[in-house]
DNA sequence: GTCTATAGCCAGATAGAC
DNA sequence: GTCTATCTGGCTATAGAC
């Protein structure tokens, strides 16, 4: 995909514009300008705005999916899995900080885009994690907790600080640099916090 | 604001459309149809799309702000404050489930809309909570934790499940009704979880 | 493959009758 | 205050020269 140089430049520019402005707010002219080529070329390579958008969205998913698949499918003790998930995911998003907002925004516009793909790819992994949590609760190895709530907590604390960056920066009265440090520290903080919440003392 | 009946109907329709489609995706024609009046009336009452949008946005903030202000400014022990914040906020959002996504989306489009208002209204309250946490850590009353991280955790776990509903429904393989029950249960779950994470055993 | 010019459409905004 | 009809601008998409 995007083997040609021009095609590559278009995809990069489109990613940039779509991820900041969304599908509706994006302008083909701005994408062309950012790519340093003419508007007509966008249509030559991608036919329509819709198709170009889909290419960008697929690329975004392709960045997130392998890491998520790796973490979620690995067989390992729950605490290790929590550490790997939070650390791995926060690191990944740090390098692509617009991705979660972009994906969430477009999924709210059209909730069905991913449903099947997601279930097929990750449903199994998450259900295993669910069973793992349930079993540990039963064995008295961790505090009683609904597995779904724990999974929600893990994902929420990993991703939300990126999605709500403007709000949280304001709440915490931080500048960009300081906020960045807080995110960095979360790579270990989130797992520590969660494990403290569920482990038997 | 919106004392006239027509004006009121317009604002309701506009809220509906802007909150689901966003500023760029919304169409004045759709708002007029939903309000059961003519497109020209929108301009008669609100001059422009931008101004109508601002009215909707301000109304949205006006729904959230008083509750947040009440919780955040009340003087009470930290554990009570955490219980009140999570329970109060999750209840509130449950009644206006499009609000967080709407606000986050538009704040990412234009990060400066709220900055000053926010700092003036809530900055002080959050800084007090920050100090409260710091003091309790110092006194050995709770486990060592960076106050900023704890505040982020509280907010993330309260709001993210609403923002990422399509993703989390997929991850957890739940239908609307079951997901709704999970959200309901979070009113108490989130506070329990957080308090378990920080309290000395 | 890459450009310029333009077609064609659609949305926001306004004029003007009632 | 409320409507119909219309203007105007901007955007996607394409035709056609090179």
Q: Give, for all 201 residues of chain B, the pLDDT tens digit.
A: 677 999 999 999 999 999 999 999 999 999 999 999 999 999 999 999 999 999 999 999 999 999 899 999 999 999 999 999 999 999 999 999 999 999 999 998 888 887 777 778 888 899 999 999 999 999 999 999 999 999 999 999 999 999 999 999 999 999 999 999 999 999 999 999 999 999 998
Q: Which CATH class is domain B60-198?
A: mainly alpha
Least confident of A15-19, A154-158, B2-6: B2-6
CATH number listed for the domain at residues A63-198:
1.10.357.10
Q: Chain A interface, mutation test: which of B118, B153, B200, most A Cβ atoms within 10 Å? A: B153
Q: Does residue A75 surpass a pLDDT of 90?
A: yes
pLDDT confidence of residue A1: 63
**What is the largest distance, in Å, between two alpha-carbon atoms of chain A?**
65
A33 SS3 class: helix
Report domain extents, chain B.
1-47, 60-198
- Which chain B residues are closer than 8 Å to A186 by Cβ? 149, 152
CA–C1' span, B114 to D8, in Å? 33
Are B158 and B183 a contacting pair, CB within 8 Å?
no
* H or E segment and range at residue A172: helix A165-172
Give percent of chain A above pLDDT 70.
Answer: 100
Neighbours of A192 (CB within 10 A): 17
- Which chain A residues are closer than 8 Å to B24 by Cβ? 21-22, 24-25
pLDDT confidence of residue B1: 63
Are A29 and A112 a contacting pair, CB within 8 Å?
no
Asked if A196's CB is within 8 angstroms of B146's CB, the reply is no
- Which chain A residues are closer than 8 Å to B21 by Cβ? 24, 109
pLDDT confidence of residue A121: 83
Neighbours of A76 (CB within 10 A): 12
Asked if B170's CB is within 8 angstroms of A152's CB, the reply is no
pTM: 0.96
According to the CATH classification, is domain B1-47 in 1.10.150.120? no
């Amino acid at each position: 995909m995007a083997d040609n140089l021009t095609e590559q430049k278009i995809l990069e520019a489109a990613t940039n514009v779509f991820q900041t402005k969304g599908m509706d707010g994006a302008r083909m002219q701005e994408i062309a300008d950012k790519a340093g080529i003419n508007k007509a070329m966008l249509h030559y390579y991608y036919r329509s705005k819709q198709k170009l958008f889909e290419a960008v969205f697929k690329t975004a998913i392709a960045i997130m999916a392998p890491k998520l698949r790796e973490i979620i499918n690995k067989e390992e003790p729950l605490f290790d899995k929590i550490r790997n998930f939070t650390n791995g995911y926060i690191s990944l998003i740090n390098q692509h900080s617009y991705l979660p907002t972009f994906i969430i925004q477009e999924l709210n516009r059209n909730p069905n885009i991913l449903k099947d793909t997601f279930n097929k790819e990750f449903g199994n992994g998450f259900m295993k994690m669910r069973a793992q949590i349930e079993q540990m609760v039963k064995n008295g190895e961790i505090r009683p907790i609904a597995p779904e709530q724990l999974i929600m907590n893990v994902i929420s604390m990993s991703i939300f600080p990126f999605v709500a960056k403007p709000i949280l920066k304001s709440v915490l009265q931080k500048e960009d640099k300081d906020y960045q440090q807080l995110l960095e520290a979360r790579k270990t903080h989130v797992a520590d916090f969660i494990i403290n919440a569920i482990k038997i003392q």
